[in-house]
Structure 1
């Protein structure tokens, strides 16, 4: 049996068999469309049948696994603590070994590695100089026939890398794991996180050569690439002294907590803002707020959603309106929205209709990928709202 890191190239039958077939996961799965194989219970059953030799691993089976968004909401509601992520990672790795990787996954994952290479950073920095000529979102046709409003490159991509941002009265030192989307597209969000942490008394260290966290690769079953990225990042992080790691992307945070094998303290920036209590106050302007809870914030990072609402309630002069489907998937899930455009748009439409009902001025969230999807949804479905990362909203309203 071949091994790579802490994952093995086999489907862990014992984990799959923990599923008691209750079907509760059906109620929260964004990809469920009426077929048994389109949600967690069915996908686990397929994995079990493949392991037992009752079913060949063919394109039909792979298609069911590929429709999974890996939001992990099934884990969140599972009464039997089935580690669905571990099973699907193994299944997709086995699938890759036997059937190969589809073009979109291969190109998408390679692009993440290219962005964080020396050449990729030079290309993106050059592109950033031209970004002022582009609208904030660019209408982009995708290989699967979908069209998305994609963010333009930031004017100064990787602009905060390799720097230390000191607090006036330091009470702690945080290492900021920025993540690819903040590095390349949402640099202002990175600056906002630093501004908030400095205000609260934390010096922020941003490593020079962090690469992609590897979670997209791991979730697609490309364990070899994940292990390579992880080892690089561990060496880079170990060069610095810090009390805790702060993130503004819950997928990165989840990978650091679950898959890097270190006993770090890893916080969503909003957790730090929340824990500061009365030290963190903000001034609104009679606006109405609603919030999209990113799936990985509560499934991977285990952050209680009450943290985000508690932070928003500290904005004086703002009203918080909780959406009915605030904790449901937005339909992005990285490459999933490109590979499964119809499923993604169905989920996205439902979210935007729900947010419209809140009559909020701002849709806030704490995931750059969700920001992309929500802004795309605002444009597509005509919501009279602005979708923005919570860090940017708060940094603009600090007292």
Structure 2
């Protein structure tokens, strides 16, 4: 049989078939179907021409959440992400891409376009008239999700510089799609924290989607287009490092952009520049986003050390704090049954902590966990860690000033 695609076979062959990845794969635990080792074996057989690429093979690849926990636990450093991205790229070329996934990726391109930046705030102002906090959306795949409403102030941070009083350095804030369009308050709070830590924050005018969803889905053409655009835009500014509040964006910048500036999660800046936080006696727990430790290679201690700065707050660590929440972007829409099972397992674990507030550092996880509290009737409040910390700054001041 003819070889059909040039997947980096040498990377796949590093897998020694130990099966350790099975213990951490969120989809295998729910369905006992394929997991990293099996998906790699399928890719290897397709590469060698021993197996035709069929819809059934593609289904096994599509059921992967790309959380990359298999990479995190792999003793042989198998680069699972790269193999699956190439496999899905070939899948896209030979079998096409499903309508829902194709539309989702296109919408991310449109969202950050000049047209999208005009339309989204208008939509946000209209939706603000609705009393509901969010919207219950039913997707063609059968997925039902509680989604945040577009923000009336979407993209308002773009093209601005937030000056620190006593500047230690300049940070370029790569905001990301969800913060730009839906969680704009989180973006403002990241800036507030960075200013208080002594850093001037620059928000580029025309940053687009980081392209990670496209790369992970095998849409290499769109990823390359987005990467080239963003690199050109970032080159217009003078800064010392990049700060993110989304680990998927941060991982893309570190791994796939190859930028020569350091990329930091905002908590890393706070860890090096402690701030005075004061809680209200609340019990909190933390969900560690998969891409924070698989893509950005962060230690979970950075989050818990940051939480220790909050006086008068009790931190209760969940037993499965690093398990996947089941969002994984488009995965939760195209695989609703699998996503819901993973989500339910996560929510049950968080409930056992008896925490009143669930914190995380990924906007996508905020969406998924908030949706989980709605589905399963839990009363826990879900917050991005930046929002929680900004609300608990001891003196409540915002010492940054806005400059054009």
Question: After TM superposition, is the score higher than 0.5?
Answer: yes
Match of 1:281 in 2: 276
Task: Give how far 1:131 is off.
Answer: 3.1
Q: What secondary structure is seen at the aligned counterpart in 1 of 2:17?
A: coil
Residues 1:128 and 2:124 aligned together: yes
> Aligned partners of 1:9 and 1:114: how far apart in 2?
30
Tell whether the 8 Å contact from 2:122 to 2:152 is kept in structure 1 after alignment: no
Which residue of 17, 23, 28 corresponds with 1:32? 28
Q: What secondary structure is seen at the aligned counterpart in 2 of 1:11?
A: coil
Residues 1:194 and 2:191 aligned together: yes
Tell whether the 8 Å contact from 1:37 to 1:43 is kept in structure 2 after alignment: no
Map of 1:44-63 to 2, 5 A cutoff? 44-63=40-59
Change (3 A) 1:384 1:127: same
Tell whether the 8 Å contact from 2:11 to 2:83 is kept in structure 1 after alignment: yes
Give the unaligned 5+ runs of structure 1: 1-7
Which residue of 98, 101, 107 corresponds with 1:102? 98
**1:307-347 residue CA offsets vs partner (Å, 9 max, x unmatched):** 10111111110000000110000000000000000100000
Tell whether the 8 Å contact from 2:120 to 2:152 is kept in structure 1 after alignment: no
Which residue of 16, 19, 42 corresponds with 1:20? 16
Tell whether the 8 Å contact from 1:165 to 1:194 is kept in structure 2 after alignment: yes
Residues 1:378 and 2:364 aligned together: no
Change (3 A) 1:79 1:285: same
Does 34-43 or 161-170 show the bigger shift?
34-43
> Aligned partners of 2:61 and 2:261: how far apart in 1?
32
Does 117-126 or 304-313 show the bigger shift?
117-126
Change (3 A) 1:93 1:127: same
Task: Give how far 1:132 is off.
Answer: 2.0
**1:336-371 residue CA offsets vs partner (Å, 9 max, x unmatched):** 000000100000001111111100010000000000
Match of 1:159 in 2: 156
Match of 1:364 in 2: 359
> Aligned partners of 1:307 and 1:205: how far apart in 2?
24
Tell whether the 8 Å contact from 1:289 to 1:321 is kept in structure 2 after alignment: yes
Q: Output the TM-score relative to the length of structure 2.
A: 0.95
> Aligned partners of 2:259 and 2:162: how far apart in 1?
25
Which residue of 312, 317, 326 corresponds with 1:322? 317
Match of 2:400 in 1: none
RMSD: 1.2
> Aligned partners of 1:12 and 1:155: how far apart in 2?
45
Match of 2:291 in 1: 296
Match of 1:3 in 2: none
Tell whether the 8 Å contact from 1:9 to 1:93 is kept in structure 2 after alignment: no
Q: What secondary structure is seen at the aligned counterpart in 2 of 1:62?
A: helix
Match of 2:261 in 1: 264
Task: Give how far 1:122 is off.
Answer: 1.2
Give the unaligned 5+ runs of structure 2: 395-404
Structure 1 segments of 4+ aligned residues over 2 angstroms from their partners: 33-37
Task: Give how far 1:112 is off.
Answer: 0.2
Task: Give how far 1:77 is off.
Answer: 0.1
Which residue of 341, 346, 356 corresponds with 2:341? 346
> Aligned partners of 2:90 and 2:334: how far apart in 1?
20
Map of 1:168-207 to 2, 5 A cutoff? 168-207=165-204
Task: Give how far 1:121 is off.
Answer: 1.4
More relative contact order, 1 or 2 (CA 8 Å, 6+ apart): 2
Task: Give how far 1:37 is off.
Answer: 5.6
Task: Give how far 1:263 is off.
Answer: 2.0
Match of 1:116 in 2: 112
> Aligned partners of 2:31 and 2:67: how far apart in 1?
19
**1:57-109 residue CA offsets vs partner (Å, 9 max, x unmatched):** 01010000000010000000000000000000110001111111111110000
